[in-house]
Structure 1
């Protein structure tokens, strides 16, 4: 199993979705993430992290509301967004950080 640091240090963009099982917007975002993953294939990674099971990590990245998404590449945080986002907007953001 990879560590968070190993995952976020990949050369491909890595989207981290901080969510909670009790969060209705998080539930609404889940199919958007699945559809984006289908479109992006292996060119990007999407990882969901439950804030209730990973409180230290959520605190480290100052997650105050869910869903909150962070985009990493080669260990650097490139983008942050809280709330719902459309599939096309999400894919556009991730694609803009591929090269």
Structure 2
């Protein structure tokens, strides 16, 4: 969990995508997240977290549905939503925290 703290305790927004390869809706987000990462460049981070490989973190954050998207900045959760989002929506949300 200390690695997680290092990931989110930065001055730029960090978008976390909780997914599993078994969830089709979560898999469709991969292309969207690539677009978001490309659009944001070094102004934000986009990190995909496989819930099957990170069960302790998934439970600690009470991730129930997939995909779950969370934005952190300076170690603080700023936004969270479960379900698919389009790239423009995510970019607009991240830009609120730049």
Q: Shift in Å at residue 20 of structure 1? A: 0.4
Q: Shift in Å at residue 90 of structure 1? A: 0.4
Gaps of 5+ in 2: none
Runs of 4+ residues over 6 Å off in structure 1 = none
The aligned residue for residue 10 of structure 1 is 10
Inter-partner Cα distance in structure 2 for 1:20 and 1:27:
8
How many pairs align? 97
The aligned residue for residue 54 of structure 1 is 54
TM-score between the two structures when normalised by the length of structure 2: 0.96
| CA distances 1:31-73 after superposition (whole Å, capped 9, x unpaired) | 0000010000000001100001110000000000110011000
The aligned residue for residue 70 of structure 1 is 70
The aligned residue for residue 39 of structure 2 is 39
Gaps of 5+ in 1: none
Inter-partner Cα distance in structure 1 for 2:58 and 2:52:
9
Aligned pairs (5 A) from 1:59-98? 59-98=59-98
What is the Cα-based RMSD across aligned positions, in Å?
0.9
SS across alignment from 2:11:
coil
